[in-house]
Amino acid sequence: MTTDLDGILSRNARVEADKAWETSRTRRLIIALGTYAVVGLYLSLLGVQGAWLHALVPPAAYILSTLTLPLFKRLWIEKCYTPGKKTGDE
């Protein structure tokens, strides 16, 4: 019984850590900076004028989407979600 409980507690701790990482600002920043670097390098290699300025667009869109998705999630839950009922969005 104790072993089962320890396993459940360990799993819960891992799930909580994964959730914290998925919603962290650090993760968002790493993804945005990585996207900026890759796109900037790609545009530079193509010879695009102002490549590093243009490379700001994809990470800015990503950050904007991560800031607005919680609002849309809340609205969807309020307006569309019924527990136990299929919504067609799955």
Residue 87 has pLDDT above 70, yes or no: no
Res 33: pLDDT: 98
Q: Is 33 exposed, middle or buried (0-12, 13-18, 19+ CB in 10 A)?
A: exposed
Q: What predicted TM-score, i.e. pTM, was given to this entire model? A: 0.73
Average pLDDT, the chain: 91
The 10s digit of each residue's pLDDT in 36-56 is 999 999 999 999 999 999 999
CA distances (Å), origin 35, targets 9, 55, 70, 84: 36, 8, 22, 38
Contact yes or no for 34/41 (Cβ under 8 A):
no
CA pair distance 83, 70, nearest whole angstrom: 19
Which has more pLDDT, 2 or 7?
7
Report the length, in residues, of the chain: 90
The average pLDDT across 2-28 equals 90
Res 39: pLDDT: 98
